A and B are shown apart, each in its own frame.
Chain A
Amino acid sequence: MNISMKWLREYVDVDWDIDAFCDAMTMAGTKVETYEELGKEITNVVVGKILQIEAHPDADKLVVTKVDVGSEVIQIVTGANNISEGDYIPVALPGAELAQGLKIKKGKLRGVESNGMMCSVEELGLSREDFAEAPEHGIYLFDEPKELGSDVKPLFGLGDIVVEYEITSNRSDSFSVIGVAREAAAAVNKPLKMPATQYTTYPGNIDEKMKVFIEDTERCYRFVGKVITEVNIQESPKWLKDRLRSCGIRPINNLVDITNFVMQEMGQPMHAYDLDLLDYNEIHVRAAKEGEVLETLDGVKRELDPSITVIADKEKAIGLAGIMGGEATKVLETTKTIFFEAATFNGTNIRKGSKKLGLRSDASTKFEKHLDPNLASLAMERACQLIDLLGAGKVMEGVIDVYPVVRQERHITYDVERINQIVGIKLSEDEMLAIFKRLSFGIDKEAKEVIVPTFRSDVVGIADLAEEIARMYGYDRIPTTLESGTPTVGKKNKKQKIEDITKQIMEASGISETISYSFESPKAYDKLGIDSNHPLRQYATISNPLGEDFSVMRTLTINGMLNVLATNYNRRNENVRLYELGKTYVPKALPLKDYPVEAEFLTIGAYGEIDFFDMKGIIETLLTRLGVVDGVSYDADIDMPFLHPGRRAKIMYDKMELGYLGEVHPETADNYDLGQRNYIGVVSIEVLTKIANLMRAYEPIAKYPAMHRDLALLVKDDILVGQIEFFIKQRGGKILEGYKLFDVYQGEQIEEGYKSVAYSLTFRAKDHTLSEKEVSKAMDKILKGLEFELGVTLRQ
């Protein structure tokens, strides 16, 4: 909301320095975004009168003039051809600055001295759109004598300061000059001066001219109408045009300008109908009929439906209520009699209607904010006063005012102690009441009630009263305290601790953290080679996405990671190791009616100096740190088409799927323009949280010596070391402390189809030194087991 200080000062006498005033407004809740002095860059331009015009001795297109600028008569050489002796004009004196940084100096034009410049509106930073009377490519000529040598800025509405306020959405009353003035009056504690609303009326019977019916009182709360006769459409006076220009509205004619002025001043949109163009002297506010067509003021024929509210005569729509008038009844230059409307429509209905029609107007923007019905009559009075003042027509006596349910002021009990408690201050009742009075609230001290004016629909309860007190008292004056309630212990839960540990382990492993989007393109699933009927394709789809690339909620985190790897690969970053802690969103059913399962995953992606077993090692380091030592197994049978069929594994813990890892399938890598071998590891944070054991218990350090045995086995090719280890563990008994694979060999001396696998086994008892016999027995058991279960024999 932009408001000129000059205009604001009509209602409240603010003589403060502009910065202090803006601060006060901001601190009182009407935030000042910025302010701008109109024509600030223009200096030293005064009114001059052309005394003499003579031909230039050496140039046909130039003339030499003598101009009276009050204090002296100066010589100006100009190429302008629209000037005559006796004209009053704006003159830029030497040293003047004009629009776009133009500076005026004394000089010579074709050998003749010139000590200034006559100005066009463009040179003053203005345009012919605002000053229709200004000539095209010519000097601006004042239409009447002005004081010679006086500053021209006020004559063009310049020099005024326009302040831009941020109005919060709860304060529909502040979207007007009066509204902001009311806040300003409260902020600087000065009285608010309301504009004059007295005018002369002329005899007539308004009820014969028009009848108004509100057919749906949920859509229209009030309809105020007046009739103006002998309409006289002309240009508006300068003061009115200046006001409109200061808030960026182009003056058109007195009638249009009055309605725009009242809309700015009061915040109430109005509409004028050419009474003679109405087919019937009846107005109905009703829902549009299905398929009803109306041509609006902008010349567009619009098809309506019952969700849209129209102003209609007895038969047909003649205007869109609160949005835009109809073409057929609009006011023209020739209009003699008008019917003036100031109505209050349902804001929600207007918002929905204007959205549906794709038509937002200044009026609909105002109505959307829910106007006070009591404003309609006030605005009508003001408009009539201006019509009378400007001689734009004769206001017929009488008024039509259909107002089914009169909006009443709200009474709220004020509890001084409670308000002090909420804010944390200690004001007395009288101090509080003084603040309410500043805000134009009424007070019933006996009933301990404030009476809230109807334009403050946002003030409903005690918390609202507390805010009014707090903002007028000053947020900066509220003492800063530390809460003294029941203490609580701040902490992280197990999952959050595990996330922290995960990040530490990743960092220690040289892996850096990334963040990727939660939504992606459905095409990602094609790139990953996931079947069209695969359950992972059961994703939630955003109905209004920013584009296909951001349209479905990810059901796995791989696409995001591969994209990040691709970005890095494409930028020639070498040896990249990254991770993300992020969610997938798996709907329980589609369409989405309930919360989906939001599951968090650690996703690791890397290329460069890394292989499958590095990735496995990173994951196992994390598991070890989280106390998960036993029970983890790897299963090559996994349905992840984006992984290398021979280098991928499901990570299992008991029967729970903990995650998966593998090399990215070369075809998938191609789809992402990734050039080298890439590795992926995914671990479920939920499962990790379930199985992690952060408790530690002390175990005495072994006292008795260990015995070591090596075991070289001849194993069929297709047997996995994991299978061998399973039986080593199973058969080794209590005294088997550990085992370590130290060699896998294929080639010379090993039969075709076999491999040699060598382990170093460690045996130890807690309570005695092991005997040779005990160890041999355990070794025997292991070997027999391996032979029986897997056909593995000792290598000879």
Chain B
Amino acid sequence: MQNKLNEIKQKAVEAIQASTDLKKLDDVRVAILGKKGELTSVLRGMKDLTNEERPIVGKMANEVRSDIEKALEEAKVVISRKQRELKLKKEVIDITLPAKKRELGHRHPMTVVLDDIKDIFIGMGYSIAEGPEIENAYYNFDALNIPEEHPAKDEQDTFYFNEEMMLRTATSPVQVHVMEKEKPPIRIIAPGRVFRSDEVDATHSPVFHQIEGLVIDKNITMGDLKGALEVFIKQLYGDSVKAKFRPHFFPFTEPSAEMDISCVMCNGEGCKVCKGTGWIEILGCGMVHPKVLEMSGIDPKEYSGFAFGMGLERITMLRYGIEDLRLFYENDIRFLKQF
């Protein structure tokens, strides 16, 4: 009996080792441990044993059974792993086949730059203001202290509907709308479309975009104006960009300035874009003229402030090295997809 048990164990181990898949392994299990299995039938013969033999053989039989079960379990793990490995090998793919890309749309390059500019100024505590594109003479000229003779008033520059109504020539009228509506402290930028009677060419368009800025508070100085714009320009073009302020004239600011920045194309070395000077004119600015404050209902003795204005087309062209402004309004998808 004991020999028989050892024989069965020996046979079982051999059969298990010979099994190459789970099916065969299960066949082994059934053949030995199943209801009609060899070990089961041997155990059935236990009743014929003597009382002395029975516990000894019983113990042995249990050991043999447990050993076989263990061996089966181990073999199962090994075979499963092998089979999975085999499956994975079969599933090897050519990872250089094309990706399944979801095509995204693209923002217009001017919007990309404008979004950056908005983020910078929002971070500095400015809000975004808007105003009408069709303006009346008061907001477009008079309230900005623009005299009768100013060239902007000329028919050559302004699109008129009639004497009273026109397309705004700058975003500056938004300053006045905001000052009339809100009390200081005021910090806004006002981006938007503006219109001037320029024939279309590489650097002109009758429709273009400006970004106006306005800050009104107590004790605002020209130093603050310089500070705010230097922070802005470094955020936009990088820390290495230098700013230079030159005196200039605008009817609605006094003192007035123009800001040049070191050329972003050549880092101030001198190139075609900066005409060899190393500097590019980027925006106009100044301290809000006391008359403008007064006309908008703000007491110039109590408050002061600064304003600035820049062209979005120019800033975008400089950012991306675009040489022809017409591309912005053509909207060729091959152009738009680059941004």
Q: Which residues of A contact B (CB under 8 A)?
A: 26-29, 31, 168-171, 347-348, 351, 368, 370, 421-425, 461-464, 466-467, 470-471, 475-476, 478-493, 496, 503, 506-519, 540-546, 550, 553, 564, 567-568, 571, 573, 576-579, 583, 585, 591-593, 595-596, 598
Contact = CB atoms under 8 A, between A and B. Distances in A.
A513 B161 contact: no
B207 to A, nearest CB: 5
B125 A567 contact: no
Contacts of B226: 475, 478, 480-481
A788 B57 CA distance: 84
Interface stretch (B34-42, B58-66, B323-331): B323-331
B217 A486 contact: yes
Given A487-B125, A546-B206, 15 more contacts: A29-B247, A170-B251, A424-B222, A463-B287, A475-B246, A481-B226, A503-B107, A507-B107, A510-B102, A518-B133, A518-B193, A544-B159, A546-B199, A568-B332, A583-B193
A467 B187 CA distance: 23
- 10 closest Cβ pairs, A-B complex: A424-B223, A424-B221, A485-B217, A467-B255, A168-B249, A29-B247, A490-B122, A514-B331, A463-B254, A481-B223
Interface in B303-325: 304
Contact of B197 (A471, A475, A490, A544): A544
A583 B126 CA distance: 24
B22 interface: no
B161 A543 contact: yes
Given A544-B197, A567-B332, A478 B223 contact: yes
Contact of B106 (A489, A492, A507, A542): A507
Contacts of B304: 421-422
Contacts of B98: none
B231 interface: yes
B162 A503 contact: no
Interface string B239-275: 0000011111101001111000000000000000000
B124 A595 contact: no
A27 B246 contact: yes
30 contacts: A28-B247, A29-B248, A170-B251, A348-B148, A370-B149, A424-B224, A466-B254, A470-B255, A471-B247, A479-B223, A482-B224, A483-B215, A483-B224, A485-B218, A486-B185, A513-B336, A514-B331, A515-B108, A518-B167, A519-B206, A542-B159, A542-B167, A543-B160, A543-B162, A544-B160, A545-B159, A583-B193, A593-B164, A595-B134, A596-B134
B49 interface: no
B245 A476 contact: yes
B247 A518 contact: no
B121 interface: yes
B332 A512 contact: no
Given A368-B149, A471-B255, A462 B249 contact: no
A421 B221 contact: yes
A234 B197 CA distance: 47
Contact of B247 (A425, A464, A475, A576): A475
B128 A496 contact: yes
A9 B256 CA distance: 29
A576 B337 CA distance: 11
Interface of B: 102-108, 110-111, 118, 121-128, 132-134, 136, 148-151, 155, 159-162, 164-165, 167, 184-187, 193, 195, 197, 199, 206-207, 215, 217-224, 226-228, 230-231, 244-249, 251, 254-257, 287, 289-290, 304, 328-334, 336-337
Contacts of B132: 595, 598
B134 A485 contact: no
Contacts of B244: 476
A576 B333 contact: yes
Question: Which of A348, A506, A592 counts the most B-chain CB atoms under 10 A from its CB?
Answer: A592
B336 A544 contact: no
A28 B248 CA distance: 9
A236 B3 CA distance: 144
Nearest to B220: A483
A490 B245 contact: no
B111 A513 contact: yes
Given A518-B133, A568-B333, A513 B247 contact: no
B289 A463 contact: yes
Contacts of A423: 221-223, 255
A487 B126 CA distance: 10
B161 A490 contact: no
B165 A592 contact: yes
Nearest to B189: A490
Contact of B185 (A425, A488, A519): A488
A31 B329 CA distance: 33
Question: Which of B133, B134, B337 counts the most A-chain CB atoms under 10 A from its CB?
Answer: B134
B27 to A, nearest CB: 42
Contacts of A368: 149
A681 B230 CA distance: 42
Nearest to B107: A513
A464 B254 contact: yes
Contacts of A478: 222-223, 226, 245
Contact of B127 (A29, A170, A491, A571): A491
Given A467-B254, A475-B247, A592-B162, A517 B105 contact: no
Nearest to A425: B223
B108 A508 contact: no
Contacts of B148: 348
B222 A598 contact: no
B224 A351 contact: no
Given A515-B328, A553-B134, A489 B125 contact: yes
A583 B336 contact: no
Contact of A470 (B122, B222, B249): B222
B162 A591 contact: yes
Contacts of B110: 515
Contacts of B247: 27-29, 467, 470-471, 475
A483 B227 contact: yes
Question: Which of B187, B221, B226 counts the most A-chain CB atoms under 10 A from its CB?
Answer: B221
B207 A518 contact: yes
Question: Which of A462, A467, A487, A491 counts the most B-chain CB atoms under 10 A from its CB?
Answer: A467
Contacts of B159: 519, 542, 544-545
Contacts of A492: 118, 122, 127-128
B161 A591 contact: yes
A462 to B, nearest CB: 7
Contacts of A544: 155, 159-160, 197
B104 A508 contact: yes
B79 to A, nearest CB: 40
B203 to A, nearest CB: 16
Contacts of A169: 149-151, 249
Contacts of B254: 463-464, 466-467
Nearest to A167: B249
B72 to A, nearest CB: 40
Nearest to B244: A476
Contacts of B124: 490
B332 A466 contact: no
Nearest to A423: B222
Given A466-B254, A471-B255, A481 B227 contact: yes
Nearest to B103: A510
Nearest to A491: B127
A579 B219 contact: no
A518 B185 contact: no
A391 B105 CA distance: 79
Contacts of A464: 254
Nearest to A471: B247
Contact of B187 (A347, A351, A490): A490
Contacts of A476: 244-245
Nearest to B156: A544
Contacts of B287: 422, 463, 466
A503 B111 contact: yes
Nearest to B165: A592
Contacts of B337: 512
A515 B150 contact: no
